[in-house]
Amino acid sequence: MNIAVLGTGQVGSAIAGKLKALGHEVVLGSRDPDGAKARELAATTGIAVLRYAEAAAGADWLVNALPGEHAVDILRACAPGDRILVDIGNYDHAVDQPIVEPLGELIQRSFPDLRLVKTLNSVSAHLMVDPASLPPGHTVFVAGNDEAAKAEVTALLRSFGWQDIVDLGDLSASRAMEQLIPLWMRLEEKLGGPDFQLSVIRRSR
């Protein structure tokens, strides 16, 4: 599958590398593909780094690994249409300010035909693509209005190694998912690093 990962930070780089390792055709979208950072990333990963719209042009799926404050403007230039978008994004300000409109819902409202699935936004970059590096039992959440798209993204998460995947329903769950960010940041501070993940413990039935 051809997948364009928009964003070249830790999250975008990790996701793109994993997708390539799984055999997908991957490109990275960047604001400055000719800059030193992008050139180094392309050299070390073997993944082409293009301008956002160029990266998105030939992709079957898009991955949003952008800061939430800029995501809609960048996506608008990418003409996302009715493709699947895996939204990993968060607002930077969500760390210490209220979320007025969740990013997942804002993107969906801005692009009604987009088949958006929210996931992985409260997981550190290295654990997104290597959940087995922690003991089993930790949880990742998914939400989306399109059930078929959500099933396809869930299958991708399983290919990453995720076992406990909790479907929170439609995109109204984006608010709850994005409001985990202050907790995640405080845990990272108190635990001395990002090697942790939340778990949902269920009573046996």
Q: Domain spans of the chain?
A: 2-191
Longest dimension (CA), the chain: 56
Give pLDDT, residue 137.
87
> What tens digit of pLDDT does each residue of 169-182 get?
999 999 999 999 99
pTM: 0.95
φ and ψ of 135, to 5 deg:
-55, 150
Domain 2-191 in CATH: superfamily? NAD(P)-binding Rossmann-like Domain (3.40.50.720)
One-letter amino acid at 183 equals: L
Which among 11, 101, 100 has a CA at the least distance from the CA of 63?
Answer: 11
- The first and second tokens of residue 57, run together, are 């042009």
> What tens digit of pLDDT does each residue of 28-84 get?
999 999 999 999 999 999 999 999 999 999 999 999 999 999 999 999 999 999 999
Which among 28, 187, 74 has a CA at the least distance from the CA of 122?
Answer: 187
